[in-house]
Amino acid sequence: MAASNMPQIWIDGTPAAGLSPLDRGLAYGDGVFETISVNRGALPLLAYHLQRLQRSAAELAIDLSDAALARAIEPIFAQLNSVSFGVIKIILTRGDGGRGYDPAGAERSRLICFYFPADAAIANEKEPCTVRLCKQRLGRNPTLAGHKHLSRIEQVIARAEWSDSAIAEGILCDSEGEVIEATSHNLFIWQDDTWLTPSLDQCGVKGVMRQLLCESIIPATGAKVREDSLRLEDIKAAEELFICNSVKGVRPVGEIVDDEGNLWFRLPSSDRAQQLQAAVNMYFEKAVN
């Protein structure tokens, strides 16, 4: 791939620079997406991403054949040996449609693939970060819960709440006051000798790093992990908190500020989270080598 800070774009496997204005992903957020980390030319979490993409497509009744997916991503995979780091984004939309919400007639889905180059891996920042509490709330919708759909306006509004670069993320609650996630990360707290992560049956994204941690990384350390309903008082009772996603890995949280920037809570430790960082790094090392 060319050495450039500009992303390369393919639509259905063909180089492209534009998108039909009739695409339902553009008009209605009618689609799903994946953001995949490239680490020294390898894609350690690829299988998790493609499985989620296929699950979400099936749940939302968007056509996604194995052949179409292979054709769309082949141009990127063909050039992975020439890149070291970056991010691949895959967007699946329902394709072109007419005016109105009725999806009838939009029967040819579209796969849009981006490659964003980077100079180094963007993962596993060791120093505990600062996050804030967001005013924005997430609406409950069990049909969309867990899926990484294109309708991200709630996250956009939440992320616009702060511009201070010292704040790494914002914690989001839902309309009923339950803690769900950060704007682009999942979260875990250590409490009563167990890692707890919000159950995402009403809203939120079931991230692939969250899945890896729950199914593999955390059990391998001998620790317990459980999905549960969490509220802000549970955050204040936590001994540790970390946020995570597939691009930035595990990020320990040291401080939480409120929506006016005042200190709300300081976490007492990050030792266990840093151990999970090391375990994730080892997982990536094995995938690369």
Active site residues: 35, 148, 181
Separation CA 254–CA 261 (nearest Å): 14
- 89 close to 29: Cβ distance less than 8 angstroms: no
**Within the chain, what is the greatest distance between any pair of CA atoms?**
56
Which phi and psi (to 5°) does residue 247 adopt? -95, -45
Strand spans (E) along the chain: 8-11, 14-15, 31-39, 85-93, 110-118, 129-138, 167-174, 178-182, 186-191, 194-198, 224-228, 230-231, 240-245, 249-257, 263-266
Separation CA 82–CA 1 (nearest Å): 6
